[in-house]
Structure 1
């Protein structure tokens, strides 16, 4: 950040007070991009989607995250300019990198990843993949289309080559658009979205911002060392050997956030309910159809839920009822989960609710596939089953121009041997406890086809809790408490104080008398 304000050569620049980065400067180009309907739309997209229904602190939006990524992108280029003048970077490069960071999330739909990974695939499965009724959708591709539409719709003064450069920076492309200028500066494509090893400023910001909003802790993840101890060597962003552990810690923090927060059981239940509601309302509201053009897509936000709830048409009655059920916290029930051992990760195929419904019934319950949700997900270090640090180059203080790799065994023996895990979960749309038990039975019957040893049911499952309660109740025996039979006493004793024959009285009587000290 400049020490002089305002900046004479950039009169449109503004200062913003960001909760993560403090006061940040936003250059004039980014201000002109921000002051558009397409970018302001990000105020209406929760950064963590449905998790706001679980964590009250998860109220931040993609608007402020995009500001943070923009700031870190420009800051990275400015630091390279100062520390490595031989790179011949310019202020124009910094402005374009800031713009790419600002616009990288323009293509997200309602509730972010819910729209991309749940809603659109289910639409495609129902209507046919690749059909005109189910167009292919990826938020990165939509971001590129939104950039073009934004520039044209708001008459922003941006050259076509610069716009193309921004688009490529968003997706981390390495292809040439300006001849040798891009070929010799491939490292610029590793700043916003790093396809080489997944270390990028997008990740720096969302991890720090999510942890601050969820836990109120600013230093749980501190990326400052990673941004200070890096330099460009042979067209690649490399890191000092002293931050090796920090890099592993970043990927571990990301894994833990996915494990404990981003894939929270209740959050996923809300996600499935909102997805179902949008599917029920799709034909009436044209949700899927809006992805075909940026002009329509710009109006898709999290407020789609309010549009459904405020509707009066009979065709949306089921969608309204489902959202009312969600508001009343009558969520889809988590039934069970299975963390697959490494030897089974590739052996057990992805299966459907229809396949579970055909398993052996329990207590005569016939399962309806519509009652079952199967969630099959993988958690990793952001590089599938590989170690992303294997693709990170390091340098030492003794030679700032030589890069090398460091095997994880030379850093610590406590790093994971496996870098990916697969978890299968099942949920129930039906509220019946008998259906819950039948779904769990079907799930475990299916898994036993591949493994004879299964862990106990998840303690978080209501089915598990119900079985524990039933076990405790059945193990309790009814015991008739008998009163002791007192010996018969003579009438002369009836007039005496009953306390005289108590054990306490006997002990007092047998105790030696205390002497008066006075």
Structure 2
């Protein structure tokens, strides 16, 4: 089977891979947006987890050949790449942010979905499904999920192309060409590294990731839409909605269900009609402990609700920009973390810290009053 992809061109699948792609669990990914509510700001951002999964599959295949993996290991990597996102909930990470304490991560959901379902049955005919789904913890799994892996490269390039911004443009060919697998004595040790000739291309990946996060993934309107969706899910939880249903539904199905739940319906209507809350004000928190910060955010949210008798959401982008620190191998054979040799890494970290802010959002008609409140009084930190 061959699929023509907008980013990578023709992508080829063998018979086993085709059977997996044709399962209902994999086809469900066609109806889960890769970038959740980003389409409300960037109308082209309607691509799906299906497209991303086959893109990661393709890049993992290319990387496997470059790294000289044997035939069996290369096939395992291809299968793992194909299935790495099969457990995503509707609207991808936005559901997971609320439901992880109840359902686990999308990796855990995907592992269970595969091992207990049709995909696992197909895999077990010739491979070990459990081994494939646990490849993240193996050395060869780094081809997909490391800081330099196929997953990160595909989403940066694909998301950039579909939003129409230039920030995510990276030289994937150069990065792959200069990539090696670090030698390590332990079975699961070692990681992907870049040789000296690829340093600038690797730095461009870091810059692209930072800019995509700060200007696209965390655009203020995207943050507001996501926060409204989180409130809809929380409303469903409060009314006893069976959360396991999230693992089988797609984007449209979950919005349809949530629209019928009284405490969630108004939030769904706001999303569907793009009648979103507005940013009243933002501020940089001084609290650095995540748990204490969340407690203070909840206290501030409750205080605004009580005073103004309206719905107010206070949100902070936790896990905004997790640092990555892959290795560079110099021509002399010395291997160093990029954070030690690149001024760009330190600059990005400093810039990221400055941009993280708590956002207070509310209905448009209340924005001016609440905004004035933020200007008049010191915000509790």
Q: Which TM-score bucket, shorter chain as reference?
A: 0.7 to 0.9
Distance verdict in 2 for CA 1:45–1:412, change over 3 Å: same
Supply the distance in 1 between the matched residues of 2:178 and 2:70 (Cα, whole angstroms).
21
The question of 1:366 aligning with 2:307 is answered yes
Q: Post-superposition shift, 1:429?
A: 4.5
Residue 7 (structure 2) aligned to one of 20, 30, 33: 20
Supply the distance in 1 between the matched residues of 2:239 and 2:204 (Cα, whole angstroms).
47
Supply the distance in 1 between the matched residues of 2:338 and 2:82 (Cα, whole angstroms).
35
Residue 329 (structure 2) aligned to one of 394, 409, 412: 394
Residue 166 (structure 1) aligned to one of 132, 136, 139: 132
Partner of residue 333, structure 1: 278
Partner of residue 190, structure 1: 142
- Residues 238 and 395 of structure 1 are in contact (CA less than 8 Å); yes or no, is this contact kept in structure 2? no
Other structure's SS at 2:293 match: coil
The question of 1:288 aligning with 2:268 is answered no
Number of equivalences = 370
- Residues 280 and 362 of structure 2 are in contact (CA less than 8 Å); yes or no, is this contact kept in structure 1? yes
Higher Rg: 1
Other structure's SS at 2:265 match: helix
Partner of residue 177, structure 2: 228
Partner of residue 404, structure 1: 335
Supply the distance in 1 between the matched residues of 2:296 and 2:25 (Cα, whole angstroms).
38
Supply the distance in 2 between the matched residues of 1:102 and 1:152 (Cα, whole angstroms).
11
Partner of residue 211, structure 1: 160
Distance verdict in 2 for CA 1:354–1:240, change over 3 Å: closer
- Residues 194 and 328 of structure 2 are in contact (CA less than 8 Å); yes or no, is this contact kept in structure 1? yes
Q: Post-superposition shift, 1:267?
A: 1.2
Q: Post-superposition shift, 1:321?
A: 3.6
Supply the distance in 1 between the matched residues of 2:10 and 2:130 (Cα, whole angstroms).
30
Q: Post-superposition shift, 1:282?
A: 4.8
Partner of residue 319, structure 1: 264
- Residues 208 and 222 of structure 1 are in contact (CA less than 8 Å); yes or no, is this contact kept in structure 2? no
Partner of residue 437, structure 1: 371
Supply the distance in 2 between the matched residues of 1:229 and 1:52 (Cα, whole angstroms).
34
More helix by share: 2
Partner of residue 38, structure 1: 25
Unaligned 5+ runs, structure 2: 185-189
Distance verdict in 2 for CA 1:160–1:349, change over 3 Å: farther
Q: Post-superposition shift, 1:423?
A: 2.0
**Residue correspondence of structure 1 range 211-290 to structure 2 within 5 A:** 211-215=160-164, 220-235=169-184, 236=190, 237-282=192-237, 286-290=241-245
Other structure's SS at 2:85 match: coil
The question of 1:66 aligning with 2:48 is answered no
The question of 1:149 aligning with 2:116 is answered yes
Supply the distance in 1 between the matched residues of 2:180 and 2:76 (Cα, whole angstroms).
20
Distance verdict in 2 for CA 1:437–1:33, change over 3 Å: same
- Residues 69 and 202 of structure 1 are in contact (CA less than 8 Å); yes or no, is this contact kept in structure 2? yes
Q: Post-superposition shift, 1:105?
A: 0.6
When normalised by structure 1's length, the TM-score is 0.64
The question of 1:115 aligning with 2:95 is answered yes
Other structure's SS at 1:446 match: coil
Q: Post-superposition shift, 1:353?
A: 4.9
Q: Post-superposition shift, 1:281?
A: 4.0
Partner of residue 101, structure 1: 81
Partner of residue 53, structure 1: 40
Deviations 1:319-340 (A, max 9, x none): 3343333333321121111235
Deviations 1:24-70 (A, max 9, x none): 21222211111100000001100000111221010100001000001
The question of 1:355 aligning with 2:299 is answered yes
Supply the distance in 2 between the matched residues of 1:238 and 1:437 (Cα, whole angstroms).
48
Other structure's SS at 1:279 match: helix
Residue 362 (structure 2) aligned to one of 398, 405, 428: 428
When normalised by structure 2's length, the TM-score is 0.85
Q: Post-superposition shift, 1:229?
A: 0.9
Q: CA RMSD in A?
A: 3.2
- Residues 278 and 363 of structure 2 are in contact (CA less than 8 Å); yes or no, is this contact kept in structure 1? yes
Other structure's SS at 1:52 match: helix
- Residues 208 and 218 of structure 1 are in contact (CA less than 8 Å); yes or no, is this contact kept in structure 2? no
Other structure's SS at 2:357 match: strand
Distance verdict in 2 for CA 1:146–1:439, change over 3 Å: farther
Of 323-332 and 252-261, more deviation after overlay is shown by: 323-332
Q: Post-superposition shift, 1:381?
A: 5.3
Supply the distance in 1 between the matched residues of 2:344 and 2:231 (Cα, whole angstroms).
45
Other structure's SS at 1:111 match: coil
Deviations 1:428-456 (A, max 9, x none): 247324642365258x5234xx6xxxxxx
